Structure 1
Amino acid sequence: MITVEQLSFGFKGSRKVINNISFHLEKGDILCVMGPNGAGKTTLLKSLSGIYQPVSGTCVIEGIDNRKARLAYVPQAKKLHFSYSVLDFVSFGCSQRKGFFSKPGKEDFDRSSEILNRLDVGRLRGKCINQISGGELQMCYFAKALVAEPDVIVLDEPESNLDFQNQAKVIDMLWELSRERKVTVIFNTHFINYAESISDKCLLMDKEHYIFGEKNALLQEEYLEEYFQVPVRKYRYEGEGGPDEAFVIRPHKLN
């Protein structure tokens, strides 16, 4: 589905931000990208999405049913310069399916309303996109991507600005897209437990190195400590419904 070979990107006059990264994903895989700030995670996602053109290497996304695969990118939400309504903003995602110069029709607005309702933010549809909270705006960016009915969805810290309830909605939706619609999902996060709960593959990276592989192989204390440079422990809890496990990051002074 997605084959990345020796992908590198750097801004003019500076060192490469990402250097010779390679990996392969099958249709419906969920890839979690993790690492410290400044490791190049967002740059990698923008390179995979075509926002940045790599200085070398390739990213090949196979077509679906004799057509070009649709890719949707969900950035960390930023205020816009135009005062669209939330419904108008979300409906712009339909251009992925209909063409970039197409005008949304009734079906597109209905589809946009349906997605907003599924994310429990339908009450926002008539509001100005620049007059809602940061968390609400992040959900609208996510809704805009879903309206496109993508084959690949790339998300830059999808839980950013969100409360726990909305984080759970987004994570559940990503799982549903992958398992029920075979959408390939790529997202970066600082929440190790989200990566463990839904990812199939992981890519750990810092400014100099990266490692890619199956989730169960990489989400181990020794790898996480190496890349995050902080003690990481996996604890097992006995509670109602049976045992559960979670990763906990412990500041150095608490060890």
Structure 2
Amino acid sequence: MILEVKNGYYGYTTDNLLQDISFTLGEKEIMTILGQNGIGKTTILKCVTGILKWRQGQTLINGQSMGSSREAQKQIPIGYVPQAHGLSFPYTVRELVIMGRARHIGLFSVPSKKDKIIVDQAIDEVGITSIRDKSCTQLSGGQLQLVFIARALASEPKVLVLDEPESHLDFRNQFIIINLIMRLVRERGLSCIMNTHYPEHALRMSHTTLLLGQNSYLFGRTKEIITEKRVEEYFGIKAKILPVPYKGEEIKAFVVLDNI
């Protein structure tokens, strides 16, 4: 186990949107969070990363409370990738990615040679070297999402937290992002928590899943959590989950049958 949330509660008003949330993330694991719009998926990520403070409960990193221990955050740094929205300022790709080095650069310092090497490596790793001098205001949604991932990688995280990274992208770009995340976990040894609207993406890529409902949730191994019965219960959709053999493995195909 690398990260744990224990008995987390959070609400924007006097009522709690999230109640008694608990889950664990292991080393080199991908965890997906699923649920309908407004159910609290993004809020969970903000509480995990410390952007928001749990009303009750805590996030633990290697057994230490992240909320009270700077040392815990240094041991297991978290890279956050927000939803990709257009930018107002015309930063170049390289300028935006180098912002990911902020916690490694002093307040009145400039990026060192090492910082610049790490930034260029992150840009190359996500495959956007050819556009590194281009203004981010001129990028497509898929390109901008890759820039945000590169910015998070430049911080040298051990946990990558992504908020719906494949949303608003076309079919091909969705799978470019999915395959990139899987490769980063495999090759960099990262752990990953990711919100998604797509149960089929969770089945394809994640080890564990947190399935959020109204005043309830389920957490466990993805193939045990995402079932036809639960898709109907939590999303109001009838679907079939079919096994498809591919390259010696079995991929789960998700087929929507009808709306309820």
- 1:86-117 CA-to-partner distances (Å, cap 9, x unmatched) read 10101111224445664323333333233323
Aligned to 1:225: 232
Matching of residues 36-47 of structure 1 within 5 Å: 36-47=36-47
Pick one of 234, 251, 254 that aligns with 2:241: 234
Aligned to 1:61: 61
Aligned to 1:151: 158
Identity of aligned residues (%): 35
Aligned to 1:210: 217
The answer as to whether partners of 2:61 and 2:73 remain within 8 angstroms in 1 is no
Structure 1 residues 245 and 122, CA, compared in 2 at 3 Å: closer, same or farther?
A: same
| Aligned-pair CA distance for 1:85 | 1.4
Structure 1 residues 223 and 122, CA, compared in 2 at 3 Å: closer, same or farther?
A: same
Number of equivalenced pairs = 252
Unmatched runs of 5 consecutive residues or more in structure 1: none
**92-101 or 224-233: bigger deviation:** 92-101
The answer as to whether partners of 1:70 and 1:150 remain within 8 angstroms in 2 is yes
- 1:133-166 CA-to-partner distances (Å, cap 9, x unmatched) read 2222111111111111211110001112333333
Aligned to 1:160: 167
| Aligned-pair CA distance for 1:185 | 0.4
Structure 2: which amino acid aligns with 1:42?
A: T
Give the Cα separation in 1 of the matches to 2:247 and 2:30.
29
Structure 2: which amino acid aligns with 1:39?
A: I
Aligned to 1:3: 4
Aligned to 1:188: 195
Aligned to 1:110: 117
Aligned to 1:141: 148
Give the Cα separation in 1 of the matches to 2:246 and 2:57.
48
Matching of residues 6-155 of structure 1 within 5 Å: 6-13=7-14, 15-62=15-62, 67-98=74-105, 102-155=109-162
The answer as to whether partners of 1:3 and 1:23 remain within 8 angstroms in 2 is yes
| Aligned-pair CA distance for 1:25 | 1.9
Give the Cα separation in 2 of the matches to 1:28 and 1:118.
18
Structure 2: which amino acid aligns with 1:8?
A: Y
User: Please, what TM-score do these two structures have when normalized by structure 1?
Assistant: 0.88
Structure 1 residues 181 and 187, CA, compared in 2 at 3 Å: closer, same or farther?
A: same
Give the Cα separation in 2 of the matches to 1:177 and 1:58.
27
Q: What secondary structure sits across from 1:82 in the alignment?
A: coil
Q: What is the aligned-residue RMSD (CA, Å)?
A: 2.6
| Aligned-pair CA distance for 1:184 | 1.3
Structure 1: which amino acid aligns with 2:60?
A: V
**40-49 or 187-196: bigger deviation:** 187-196
Structure 1 residues 223 and 100, CA, compared in 2 at 3 Å: closer, same or farther?
A: farther
Give the Cα separation in 2 of the matches to 1:243 and 1:216.
12
| Aligned-pair CA distance for 1:67 | 4.3
Give the Cα separation in 2 of the matches to 1:99 and 1:213.
41
| Aligned-pair CA distance for 1:237 | 4.8
| Aligned-pair CA distance for 1:44 | 0.7
